[in-house]
Amino acid sequence: MPLGFGLFSMTTGPCSYPETAARVARAAEAAGFDSLWGGEHVVLPDPQAPPSPLAPGDRIIDPIVALTFLAAHTSRIRLGTGIIILPQRNPLVLAKELATLDVLSNGRLIFGVGVGYLEPEFRALGAPFEDRGRVADEYLAAMRAIWTQAQPVYRGRFAVFEGVQAHPQPVQKPTPPIVIGGHTPAAFRRAVEQGHGWYGFALDAAATARCIEGLREAGRSHPRPADLPPLEISVSPRGRIDRAAAEAFAALGVHRLILIPPRAADAAGLEQFVVSIGSDLIGRI
């Protein structure tokens, strides 16, 4: 299979404005990108402090709302949350929102999740920071239950429900693809046990190789459910990407590169970036 290409930054910078987002999304679809991706932070620390990636006044729009908007301006390209900070969300509300996006986009959702890392954001939202990994595992199981069971039931420490229904269900069966983000042993284990794919962010080839070995090690320790397909590997490469760099990632076993556009690019620069990747790389590796 040829190496796939996704486009990141659909919720930040110029793409946080509707005209630019629609223009870039259409250009990406025309250029042959397979997916559009956007991350989230509900709130940002003020003043900025590590590890916050953004300043307090930086724009970052909600990924589900943004991708629904982009679904209306495209017809084929897939729509990825990269990533939803799952422990900060109510799992049933999130399941409803994502099912709605999958229905309105005719089955184009990719559900990318992570556990988060900004303690001030968790504190402001009243979400448990120390338990975020266990919360994420339960919420994923709860969401699969509401999406797939005829009589949904889930009883955990952080999520409990029964005697309820939520329709419509996602178009994609049994669930939209679930992609687990993160570079830790816990993230690797979660990807093996629960994910259709794994997503590594801002990695060079050496770091990607280490993460892929971490995924292999997790696979030796934790059985992968028989109903899950082979794990798809997506990476946002650090730095400029050219054909040689893309081929190096492909040789490692990466299936998709989710490209981060140049930070200083305006709307025209983003469109030119997309067009150049389409002509130089897509379908050539």
The CATH architecture annotation of domain 4-280 reads Alpha-Beta Barrel (3.20)
Strand partners, 161: 154
> In this predicted structure, what is the pLDDT of residue 263?
86
Single-letter residue type at 160:
V
Interval 73-88: pLDDT, tens: 999 999 999 999 999 9
Which residues does the chain have with pLDDT short of 70?
Answer: none
Q: List b or e across 114-143, with b for residues whose CB sees 16 or more CB atoms inside 10 angstroms.
A: bbbebeebbeeeebebeebbbbbbbbbebb
By residue count, the chain amounts to 285
User: What letter would DSSP give residue 76?
Assistant: S
> In this predicted structure, what is the pLDDT of residue 248?
97
How many Cβ atoms are within 10 Å of 27's Cβ, its own excluded?
A: 18
User: What letter would DSSP give residue 224?
Assistant: P
| 3-state SS assignment for residue 109 | strand
- Unique residue bearing structure tokens 């338990």: 131
Domain boundaries, the chain: 4-280
Of the candidates 128, 130, 132, 158, the residue with the CA atom closest to the CA atom of residue 143? 158
What is the distance between the alpha carbons of residues 80 and 41, in angstroms, rounded to a whole number?
A: 15
> In this predicted structure, what is the pLDDT of residue 1?
82
Interval 91-112: pLDDT, tens: 999 999 999 999 999 999 999 9
User: What letter would DSSP give residue 13?
Assistant: G
> In this predicted structure, what is the pLDDT of residue 64?
98
